[in-house]
Copies of this chain bind each other. A is one copy, B any other.
Amino acid sequence: MNGKKSDNFVIHGDICYSLDQNTLRCVEGGYLVCKDGKSQGVYPSLPDWYMNLPLLDHSDRLILPGLVDLHMHAPQFAFRGLGMDLELLEWLEAYTFPEESKYRNLGYARNAYAAVARDLVNGPNTRVCMYATVHLPATRLLMDMMETTGLVCMVGKVNMDRNNPPYLCESSAALSAEHTHMWLAASAGRYKNVSAILTPRFIPVCSDELMGMLQKLQKEFNVPLQSHLCESRAEVEWVRKLCPNSKNYADAYDSFGLFGGDVPTIMAHCVWPEEDEIALIREKNVYIAHCPQSNANLTSGVAPVRRLLNNDVQIGLGSDVAGGCHTSIFRAMADAIQTSKLRHLLVDRSEAPLSIAEAFYLGTLGGGSFFGNVGSFAAGYEFDAIIIDDTSIYAPFPLTVEERLARVMHFSDDRHIQEKYVRGKCVKC
């Protein structure tokens, strides 16, 4: 019997997952049980009552939960690595907006999104929150294409009706809202793995009128929301000028009822939060997508992840392609650790650097919890798993599972991802 085609099976290998922010559970030669797309837990030896399930023998392979990318821009994949000599607002004008405008052409979008889908299937991520563009047809196309990959994705049609070039700007708040309504109505119930997420790009490009309309749509369709918060100092300053009545950037979203609370919400970046904002983020249970590489590439800074964690803020990792060049959340883990060390050294010695266990938590369970019971192998969690063949990474002495994880985090690539499961289905075999 071919276990890969069954919904119920057991994987045997060297298993590792986060119990909490600080604690890895590693079981060498353990058994991970999948039934009906959910984990039944990890066992050092296989209990009798699972003996009849097909056994997939991945001895000596590393078995990890699938990684979660809480923030990426699908139309920016095409220009990864370009314009890396610019800061955020310049880069948006010079590269991002001109490129995104091309997605009014469905043929262009189809080719570009096919490249995104191929890359994501080959890599270690199993769940992704992504931005499309303002264009309704291309956004639907992206959702259709991601659905066929088997990855679980939240996809947002972008809203932007001010302060951006006419070739990309939606011509009015009403039109932007109308397209968003059509998109939400058409998306509801259409997919198994893909769902809609409301995506006002960020305060500077969304009028007050539009934000009001989006709040109504959010309530009508009961969808989550993603946006950007406190990425660069210039952007924070801009928001201060645009919203003189708001206490700060977070408060500007909150004043429209679009900052967490009943609305499951991801804000990307949070590099420059004020104390008040951190309190509001926590109070409203807003998720922060920490995007360390992008924040370095665009000279935005290093987010105060330690301070956010100490304040019980929910945090996941984001590739932020194309501010970041790499879709793999393994790279985001390594970058999160590296930049946390530079922050510790150069900004605030009281903020301890992130550990391997913490970075792994952020990229699995930390971000995964935005999707529900995701990012762990504890019983009842959705069965997202990656099988990693790290035998090609030379080691002249025996390594612990945690040491192997550290190496995979620092220098694996898609060749090491041997198989990948999402909700119990093999999506890369």
Contact = CB atoms under 8 A, between A and B. Distances in A.
Given A342-B342, A346-B342, A410 B299 contact: no
B111 A396 contact: yes
B82 A403 contact: yes
A296 B339 contact: yes
Interface stretch (A37-45, A73-81, A236-244, A280-288): A73-81
Interface residues of A, number: 48
A80 B411 contact: yes
Contacts of A410: 80-81, 84, 325
A85 B296 contact: no
A411 B341 contact: no
A4 interface: no
Nearest to A412: B81
A249 to B, nearest CB: 19
A428 interface: no
A341 B299 contact: yes
A394 B114 CA distance: 10
A409 interface: yes
A167 interface: no
A407 B112 contact: no
A215 interface: no
Contacts of A337: 84-85
Main secondary structure of the interface of A (DSSP, over half): helix
A115 interface: yes
Contacts of A411: 80-81, 325-326
A368 interface: no
A300 to B, nearest CB: 8
How many copies of the polypeptide does the oligomer hold?
Answer: 2
Interface string A96-124: 00000010000010011001000100000
A123 B315 CA distance: 36
Contacts of A302: 342, 346
Nearest to A358: B85
A77 B396 CA distance: 10
A342 B395 CA distance: 33
A396 B105 CA distance: 13
A78 B396 contact: yes
Contacts of A81: 406-407, 409-411
Given A115-B394, A394-B115, A407 B80 contact: yes
Contacts of A6: none
B78 A356 contact: no
Contact of A355 (B85, B112, B338, B397): B85
Contacts of A355: 85
A344 B299 contact: yes
A347 interface: yes
A407 B356 contact: no
A395 B108 CA distance: 11
6 contacts: A82-B399, A82-B406, A112-B394, A115-B396, A299-B344, A301-B346
Interface of A: 77-78, 80-82, 84-85, 102, 108, 111-112, 115, 119, 293, 296-297, 299-302, 325-326, 334, 337-339, 341-347, 353, 355-356, 394-397, 399, 403, 406-407, 409-411, 413
